[in-house]
Amino acid sequence: MKTKAGLIVGVGVGILLLVGLVMLLRLEGPIDPSEPPHLGRFAEIPRIDVHVHVAFEQAERAVRLFRKYGGVRIALNASGGHPHGGGLEESAEIAKRTKGALLPYCLLDFSAVEDPDWLEYVDRTLKACVELGAVGLKIHKGLGLGIVLSDGSLLRVDDPRLDPAFELAGKLGLPILIHSGDPKAFFQPPTPDNERYEELLAHPGWSFYGPRPDGYGNWPSWEEVFEQYENRVARHPNTTFVGAHFGNAPEEPERVARMLERYPNLVIETAARVPEIGRHDPQKIRDIFIRFADRIMFGTDFQIGRDGSLVLGSSGKNPDPPSRVPFFYESHFRYFEREDRNFPHPTPIQGKWTINGIGLPREVLEKFYYTNAMRVFRLPHPLSVGEDGEEKK
Ligand SMILES: [Zn+2]
């Protein structure tokens, strides 16, 4: 009996060690034998990534990865937290510790809209955001697609009770990074012929098709949410909006161009949408980038969780291995900087297609990679930020 028990314990410990080793390899590398990733093949322009998600525990590692693999000297953390104990104070510490290489957006809890002290809450929260050095306010897609009011309806992006928050953000000079809606495919039946079936299988909660799971009627359509978002941008000409994910309509670049034309207070960024915009006629997208050269910023949606797990734009059930980091950046740069044809996009789970590069001219790339972000978020020159020299191993 004793030996049998010993054997079982031994095998158990062995399995645990093996699992531990596999996890360690997954989380900590090896990143790539050919590192750093051929960055020299791309434009030597410093980059500001205006849309990342970094768990506080991973701040230093994130900054190293961004700099080494993406040439990103400043990254703006859309998971910067709420002020008054909701994480923003820690984010402010991190901003100091990383010498300005990782700066936070702050968050506002829109579900408090029905509370009697809503206006007071907005006032003290946004003012604290500014005091703590938040670069802007991040609005999650939950506004429009997640926050449920006491009558069971979804809080609309253009609900007039929210107006004071958007007005005040404008007065305080806080740009608003706003994610409204989601890919159009998420509003269509999650069946095998849905082009993002694989992603919807891994994340059933991302489907906005048909009835809401809480039983209060149906999800709104993609069109309805987009209309609410446009109403919001139109209503506050003195507030700067950063339309996340290529202005929330990468499937319809003409529509995004029309909005940029109509609303001078709108700028956009590219997070997690190179796969989508890369499918269009590259000449058409190139024209938009050139025509609105002052209004489009570099963003990736690079995400690092508390345990160090990576999500590069989007992922399946499992996080992305660190070995994919160089490819993730390279395929972005290849898209923006070259006119290569039919190459793989940065985020395979978003769909089985290839993309065509838009080969932007140098002066447009400089605006796109950093000078627009410097202006919109009032940031220092990215080369003046962070520690110099080689990253520590
Ligand atoms: Zn994001």
Round to whole Å and give the CA distance between 271 and 276. Answer: 11
* Cα 359 to middle of ligand 1, angstroms: 25
Residue 140 CA to ligand 1 centre (angstroms): 8
Mean pLDDT of 58-70: 95
Between the CA of 50 and the centroid of ligand 1 the distance, in Å, is 10
Give distance in angstroms: CA of 10 to centre of ligand 1: 44
What is the arrangement of strands in the sheet containing 102-104, beginning at the earlier edge strand?
Answer: 102-104, 72-77, 47-54, 302-304, 310-312
CB of 297 closer than 8 Å to CB of 376: yes
C-alpha of residue 18 to centroid of ligand 1, in Å:
33
The alpha carbon of residue 18 and the mean position of all alpha carbons in its chain are separated, in whole angstroms, by 34
In this prediction the pTM is 0.89
Q: What is the model's pLDDT at position 351?
A: 85
Separation of CA 138 and ligand 1 centre (Å) = 9
pLDDT tens-digit map of 89-134 = 999 999 999 999 999 999 999 999 999 999 999 999 999 999 999 9
C-alpha 53 – ligand 1 centre gap (Å) = 6
- Token readout for 363 is 């002066």
**Distance, CA 12 to ligand 1 centroid (Å)?**
39
Q: Does the pLDDT at position 260 exceed 70?
A: yes
Residue 82 gets which letter from DSSP? B
User: Rounded CA gap, 223 and 255, in Å?
Assistant: 12
CB 304 within 8 A of CB 310: yes
* Separation of alpha carbons 280 and 286, rounded Å: 10
Domain-wise residue ranges, the chain:
47-322+361-384
Q: Quickly state the pLDDT bin for 22 (edges 50, 70, 90).
A: very low
Distances from the Cα of 175 to the Cαs of 169, 292, 383, in angstroms?
A: 7, 18, 23
Q: How far is the CA of 51 from the centre of ligand 1 (A)?
A: 6
Interval between CA 315 and ligand 1 midpoint (Å): 13
Whether the predicted pLDDT of 32 surpasses 50: no
pLDDT digits (tens, 9 = 90+) for 180-226: 999 999 999 999 999 999 989 999 999 999 999 998 999 999 999 99
**What's the 179 CA to ligand 1 centre distance in angstroms?**
8
Query: According to the model, what pLDDT value does residue 18 have?
Result: 54
> Residue range 44-73: average pLDDT?
96
> In the structure, what pLDDT confidence band is assigned to residue 31 with cuts at 50, 70 and 90?
very low
* CB count in 10 Å sphere of residue 383: 12
Residues 304 and 62: their CA atoms lie apart, in Å, by 7
Q: What is the DSSP string of 98-164?
A: TTTSEEE-B---GGGGGSTTHHHHHHHHHHHHHHTT---EEE-THHHHTPBPTTSPBPPTT-GGGHH
Which of 259, 242, 253 is CA-nearest to residue 278? 253
| CA of residue 4 to ligand 1 center, whole Å | 51
Superfamily of domain 47-322+361-384 in CATH is Metal-dependent hydrolases (3.20.20.140)
Q: Compute the distance from residue 134 Cα to the ligand 1 centre, in Å.
A: 16
Ligand 1 centroid from CA 177, angstroms:
10
- DSSP letter string over 332-361? HHHHHH----SEE-S-GGG-S-EE------
Q: How confident is the model at residue 227 (pLDDT cuts 50, 70, 90)?
A: very high
CA of 210 to the centre of ligand 1 (A): 24
CA of 81 to the centre of ligand 1 (A): 13
Distance CA 233, CA 263 (A): 7
User: Mind giving me the DSSP string for 200-218?
Assistant: HHH-GGG---SB-TTSSSB
Express each pLDDT in 122-147 by its tens digit: 999 999 999 999 999 999 999 999 99
